[in-house]
Structure 1
Amino acid sequence: MVKFCDRGRSCRKPLTIKYFYAIFKIMPRLARLDAPGVLHHVMGRGIEQNEIFLNNEDRKDFIKRLEILALDNAIDVYAWTLLPNHFHLLIKTKERPLSSTMRKLLTGYVVNYNKRHMRHGHLFQNRYKSIVCQEDVYLNELVRYIHLNLLRAKIVKSLNKLNLSPWSGHSALMGKVKRNWQNTDYVLSLFGNKRNRRKNYLAYVEKGIKKGHRPELVGGGLIRSMGGWSEVIALRERGDKNVYDQRILGESDFVEKIVSDLDEMAKRNLKRLGKRIDLEKLAEKICNKFDISMNELCSGSRRKIVIKARQIVSWLAVRELGYTGADVAYFLGVTNSCVTRIVSGTKPDLKKFMKLLR
């Protein structure tokens, strides 16, 4: 039998049934939250607020990848905008889970970006942020909010300039830039008949200029739980009548329905945690303990001390803080199977590291 380790090289230990069982035990199944037909407001930022689009070639590459996913029936795209250090998407999942779609979009973009600019390493700050949205209540608002970002950031100087800008979906809705992959018909249908809908849409966008930044549309105005789904469920169990979470934008009944749709296995795998330390901060603390750099931790180095530090980060993040193996693998720059092997193996001595979780 051919034996492979997580990096594809031959190794002594084969993949066992116990190993595959550990994957399902540790990694929660996808909840119905990520089922087809769910509307998501997705945001991604550059690491340390660095720019992720340095020139028009970068922007065109990102847009082309978004186009391919839309034409491949993975998503419906309703709104989007590209700013120097972050992006916004308003998309509805179709034949693929959101996680799969975003992985294909971002991984491919980062690979090309690094080649173009002769760099290596992470580009985005942790994982993208995704908010499930109540379509009938918030779709119009979100389309307007997302497209006005270019104007609020003063990247374009006027609404007329925004109408022509190729770096958001607004120009396609105005008929100034042709994008067959963007679902403009559905969005415009919300603004009346074919004769007046573009005019009505533009008037609606113009009214939004005075509203300024809208924190309630990105979760900032809601009761938020940094523990993710676990705290939402905890709120329900305590009988809280208004259940909100940073991953959901909608009325209380909508949030209640989304949460109740989580299957039982997903619920059992959730950690009942309050505010938890950010992965990057945890990794920095571990690096300080082992006297290594963050770059070395995430470089795939096989030095014993780096492997040990990676093991501690993985165990604390997955077992104690409730991060998924995919989150940790993405952050560390290793494969999912690598993290799964670590946290399903012998437990390291964590006593002296537990205080780092505070």
Structure 2
Amino acid sequence: MTRQARAKSPYGYYHVMMRGCGKQYLFEEDYQRRFFLSVAGEACSQYKASLCAWCLMDNHVHMLLLDREDHMWEVVHYVGTLYGQFFNKVTGRCGPVFQDRYKSKPIESNDYFMQAIRYIHDNPIELGCRPENYPWSSYQAYFGEGGHLDRNVLFSLIGGQGNFESFSKSGRKDTYVLNSGRSMTVFEQKRKARGVLDGMDVCDVMGLPGPFERADAVRRLYGAGFSERQIVRLTGLGRYVVQNALKSL
């Protein structure tokens, strides 16, 4: 079957995700993460691309690339080849490290660009970690220098570095998603919900002491991308209870 050609961004911005082959871990130690970032920086320099955001999870990587020279494939191939060889060498493994078909989504507006950055930085929420506390994303790099990061585009849109924290926290209601081609399993939904609710199991929402606490939990889940139907199913709350909690949004 012929593969569908990748959609092109009119502005050269792309959200790229690289996943471990068979969902295997890509990183076992921090020095491996540092090497990946170094290779990504080399690839961007060589092919005249820029990283506007990134997040390294255990078995996948998110990058927001500025690629006006149309070298996205070369950047991803460079990173995948060099890091794959390195990872196999230091772990004693063999065979492919990354899935052969990386995902990419063209960014077609300023709003989508900002939503994509928030989405990338919010990935650690699924692990129960707040974005500002996660060491392996570009979130903290936006407060400093280096980090293989081009900050200029985002800062020009939000009015400078001083607005970054409020910008990041204002996006919890964004509906941006990187289509992965499948729906999350119930287990994955519960794990993500636990991160959104600061470690509380989603099934415990019904047992919260008052309606305001339950409504707050519903709004947080909705802001993290859960639909009304998913919230009803996961929490056990009635449909009208969920709808009433969301009326003020």
TM-score range, shorter chain: 0.5 to 0.7
Asked if the contact 1:45/1:85 (under 8 Å) is kept, the reply is yes
Counterpart check, 1:217 vs 2:180: no
Counterpart check, 1:189 vs 2:156: yes
Moved over 4 A (4+): none
Asked if the contact 1:34/1:98 (under 8 Å) is kept, the reply is no
Residue of 60, 64, 75 corresponding to 2:49: 75
Residue of 165, 169, 194 corresponding to 1:202: 165
The 2-side partners of 1:73 and 1:122 are apart by 23
The 1-side partners of 2:21 and 2:6 are apart by 28
- The amino acid across from 1:208 in the alignment is G
Q: Please give the residue correspondences for 1:1-358 in structure 2 after superposition, counting only pairs within 5 Å.
A: 33=8, 37-154=11-128, 156=129, 158-162=130-134, 165=135, 167-175=136-144, 178-179=145-146, 181-192=148-159, 197-209=160-172, 211=173, 214=175, 216-219=176-179
The 2-side partners of 1:68 and 1:50 are apart by 25
- The amino acid across from 1:67 in the alignment is G
CA displacement at 1:140 relative to structure 2: 0.6
- The amino acid across from 2:169 in the alignment is E
The 2-side partners of 1:220 and 1:33 are apart by 18
SS across alignment from 1:124: coil
- The amino acid across from 1:217 in the alignment is V
Asked if the contact 2:16/2:63 (under 8 Å) is kept, the reply is yes
Deviations 1:322-349 (A, max 9, x none): xxxxxxxxxxxxxxxxxxxxxxxxxxxx
SS across alignment from 2:158: coil
The 1-side partners of 2:155 and 2:54 are apart by 15
The 2-side partners of 1:80 and 1:104 are apart by 17
- Structure 1 residue runs without a partner (length 5+): 1-26, 222-358
CA displacement at 1:180 relative to structure 2: 6.4
SS across alignment from 1:138: helix
Asked if the contact 1:78/1:90 (under 8 Å) is kept, the reply is yes
CA displacement at 1:201 relative to structure 2: 1.8
Asked if the contact 1:41/1:90 (under 8 Å) is kept, the reply is yes
SS across alignment from 1:42: strand
CA displacement at 1:220 relative to structure 2: 6.5
Asked if the contact 2:57/2:124 (under 8 Å) is kept, the reply is yes
CA displacement at 1:66 relative to structure 2: 1.0
Deviations 1:139-191 (A, max 9, x none): 0111111011123322x3x35424xx2x111111122xx31641112211211
CA displacement at 1:32 relative to structure 2: 8.8
Asked if the contact 1:73/1:94 (under 8 Å) is kept, the reply is no
The 2-side partners of 1:179 and 1:198 are apart by 14
The 2-side partners of 1:92 and 1:173 are apart by 16
SS across alignment from 2:105: strand
The 1-side partners of 2:131 and 2:87 are apart by 30
- The amino acid across from 1:39 in the alignment is Y
- Structure 2 residue runs without a partner (length 5+): 182-249
- The amino acid across from 1:64 in the alignment is S
The 1-side partners of 2:62 and 2:131 are apart by 19
The 2-side partners of 1:199 and 1:95 are apart by 31
The residue number in structure 2 matching 1:349 is: none
SS across alignment from 1:70: helix
SS across alignment from 2:154: helix
- Call closer, same or farther: CA 1:180–1:121 in 2, change over 3 Å: closer
Asked if the contact 1:159/1:206 (under 8 Å) is kept, the reply is no
CA displacement at 1:217 relative to structure 2: 2.2
- Call closer, same or farther: CA 1:152–1:100 in 2, change over 3 Å: same
SS across alignment from 1:131: strand
CA displacement at 1:135 relative to structure 2: 3.2
- Percent of paired sites with the same residue: 25
CA RMSD of aligned residues (A): 2.7
The 2-side partners of 1:199 and 1:219 are apart by 32
CA displacement at 1:120 relative to structure 2: 0.5
